[in-house]
Structure 1
Amino acid sequence: PPPVPRPGGGYDCPFPAAVEHADAAAFATAHAGRLLALERAGELRVARTVADLDDAAAGGPLAAVLHLEGAEAIDPGLEALDLWHAAGLRSLGPVWSRPNAFGHGVPFAHPSSPGTGPGLTDAGVALVRRCAELGIVIDLSHLNAAGVEDVARLDLAPLVASHSGAHAISPSSRNLTDEQLDRVGASGGLVGIVFAVPFLRADGEDDADGTPLSAIVDHARHVAERIGVEHVGLGSDFDGATVPVEVGGVDGLPRVLAALEDAGFTSAEVDAVAWGNWRRVLGATWR
């Protein structure tokens, strides 16, 4: 649903309609099949181990990480999870921005706290536990505050928010509060800085032309100053989000790295944000 403007600024967005498990499973399976077909054709490699990532960085085949955003494709009994892991699943967000059998996503809203409803369901707790056993990253982005706290209390793996920003800069429901950032840092985890313009701007406006590249740097700096640069990565969200025009697409990533260095991040810190921090966290989680 489209966002509903608030008088005086900001917006609310109703939850999208629920997705049935059968529909999600069919859709996700088809897309995973296309990914595996590309792997068979030699176009890329599905990264199942950190060694696969290292090989790609050394000039080997392009590596792709199989991720599910919203676990509707997984049955609440988790009978399909081992099959997905065997196919290469290594990262999973229990929810998108809607409730499902596993937990409660945050509705898109600005300004808003991420504290919007209850936490993980019993099935969600079981999902997080089983993912830890298999070595699948649990992605906190889109999960509400109570759900993030539930995952943190389980204390099974480094906490990861793959595409989020700093709530202190942009008070969107999708961003992490300083207290949540502290949780991520204490776990040895990582925040991938999102490039989506509404989650970068203090006013929440969806304005690509009016949002400078420095907005990404500001969020990276805030997270680094709060919990350490070793907990900062890039989160992009190129699959339909509005991003600053100076970024554009994946070909703009070198400009993001240059902006970080121009802002005072050292070369070693930029390398860590671009690659090293993600490698460390994935290495601590994947089996």
Structure 2
Amino acid sequence: MQLIFDGHNDVLLRLWTNMQGGTDPVAEFRDGTDHGHIDAPRARSGGLAGGLCAIYISSGHHAPRKPDLNGHYATPLEAPLERQPSLDIALAMASIAFRLDRAGAWRLCRSTADIRSAFEDRTFAAVLHMEGCEAIDRELQALETFYSAGLRSLGPVWSRNNIFGHGAPFAYPASPDSGPGLTEAGFDLVRACNRLGILLDLSHITEQGFWDVARTTDQPLIATHSNAHALTPVARNLTDRQMDAIRESHGLVGLNYATTMLRSDGQENADTPMSDMVRHVDHMVKRMGIDCVALGSDFDGATIPAGIGDAAGSQQMVAALRAAGYDADALAKICRENWLRVLGKAWHEG
């Protein structure tokens, strides 16, 4: 079994949402559930050894994709969120992460040594990530606080705009060059993340924002959960030119399991073959090299292929890649070692 470190999941959102209805998030994750994609028993079964766990503030009424007769759609961006309610929810999600850590249900990791130690102990290695920085103030005081609490990765925007930049919409077919990039506050955020050692995620930002980060950051360029625009032309996927820049920075792209970002028709349909996942990996490896490709499932945040189902089916992805000719060394890189390399670089580990 190949141990997998995954670049993106929304399990904290699921646990927080269910907690509003009275569910104990520690018991739900530690003991297992039939809801969602990830809990400790299913993760162990599937070799999912850890990942970036997102603090994500939902708009609460995300507009559904409505394809026209040609299968095309353009979902409007959600309205910006107010900071104070976003901060309250972000703190609540962080508190769930801390409770899981104290209960031994997972280990909250702040270094690659922490991650490897969790692997050895067969404990889920959770890294606190923030997907969209609506909870962060313009002066970045909250950023310092969240960093001290364990935040080690963030995406400046989700697919909506905020004070730091502009998000790419959910649209097919569409270019990621869909609007402006970083604001002045966004450039300050990038520089602060460089100083502190917080990974910058480029998965939801516009193409202009991608290039704004590229010319400002001293980190490898990383998209935690994105795929190839050349194969699936949704606005959230990366162009070959963006992938070239990621290769040149020795960065990384995590394969997103969302069917809308895998299928050539851009549709949300769990009846999506594993071959669609393999062809995206093949394209990214050909474009960027084996050292720059990893996994970023979007578990608990997307419709994924039925052939995987949930965290327990994670080895199905490994098996599909093995059948496509990827050897043990290549699989180790894709499954975890490439992630550990870029995390160590972003976190100033040398």
Question: TM-score range with shorter-chain normalisation?
Answer: over 0.9
Query: CA separation in 2, counterparts of 1:60 and 1:264?
Result: 28
Structure 2: gaps spanning 5 or more residues? 1-62
**Alpha-carbon distance, 1:216 to partner:** 1.0
Query: CA separation in 2, counterparts of 1:71 and 1:245?
Result: 32
Match of 2:236 among 149, 162, 174: 174
Query: CA separation in 2, counterparts of 1:245 and 1:38?
Result: 28
Does the 8 A contact of 2:71 with 2:267 survive in 1? Answer: no
Tell me, yes or no, if structure 1 residue 271 matches structure 2 residue 332.
yes
Match of 2:192 among 101, 106, 130: 130
**Alpha-carbon distance, 1:271 to partner:** 0.7
Query: CA separation in 1, counterparts of 2:332 and 2:126?
Result: 19
Does the 8 A contact of 1:167 with 1:178 survive in 2? Answer: yes
**Alpha-carbon distance, 1:60 to partner:** 4.9
Match of 1:224 among 269, 274, 285: 285
Query: CA separation in 2, counterparts of 1:179 and 1:172?
Result: 15
Tell me, yes or no, if structure 1 residue 96 matches structure 2 residue 158.
yes
Match of 1:236 among 297, 303, 307: 297
Match of 2:312 among 240, 246, 251: 251
Query: CA separation in 2, counterparts of 1:60 and 1:261?
Result: 24
Deviations 1:54-76 (A, max 9, x none): 11222253210101100001111
Query: CA separation in 2, counterparts of 1:105 and 1:261?
Result: 35
**Alpha-carbon distance, 1:240 to partner:** 2.9
Q: 1:134 to 1:262 in 2, by over 3 A?
A: same
Does the 8 A contact of 1:6 with 1:12 survive in 2? Answer: no
Which residue of the partner structure matches residue 205 of structure 1? 267
Structure 2 residue matching 1:154: 3-state secondary structure: coil
TM-score relative to the length of structure 1: 0.97
Which residue of the partner structure matches residue 34 of structure 1? 96
**Alpha-carbon distance, 1:102 to partner:** 0.4
Does the 8 A contact of 2:159 with 2:204 survive in 1? Answer: yes
**Alpha-carbon distance, 1:42 to partner:** 2.1
Does the 8 A contact of 1:67 with 1:90 survive in 2? Answer: yes
Deviations 1:91-113 (A, max 9, x none): 10100000110000011000000
Query: CA separation in 2, counterparts of 1:17 and 1:195?
Result: 26
Q: Percent identity?
A: 49
Tell me, yes or no, if structure 1 residue 56 matches structure 2 residue 118.
yes
Does the 8 A contact of 2:260 with 2:268 survive in 1? Answer: yes
Does the 8 A contact of 1:3 with 1:14 survive in 2? Answer: no
Which residue of the partner structure matches residue 14 of structure 1? 76
Tell me, yes or no, if structure 1 residue 24 matches structure 2 residue 91.
no
Structure 2 residue matching 1:91: 3-state secondary structure: strand
May I ask how many residue pairs the two structures share in their alignment? 286
Kindly provide the amino acid, as one letter, of the partner of residue 112 in structure 2: V
TM-score relative to the length of structure 2: 0.80
Query: CA separation in 2, counterparts of 1:19 and 1:83?
Result: 20
How much is the aligned-residue C-alpha RMSD, in angstroms? Answer: 1.0
Query: CA separation in 2, counterparts of 1:155 and 1:94?
Result: 13
Kindly provide the amino acid, as one letter, of the partner of residue 83 in structure 1: T
Structure 1: gaps spanning 5 or more residues? none
Kindly provide the amino acid, as one letter, of the partner of residue 191 in structure 1: V
Which residue of the partner structure matches residue 35 of structure 2? none
Which 4+ runs in 1 deviate beyond 3 A?
Answer: none
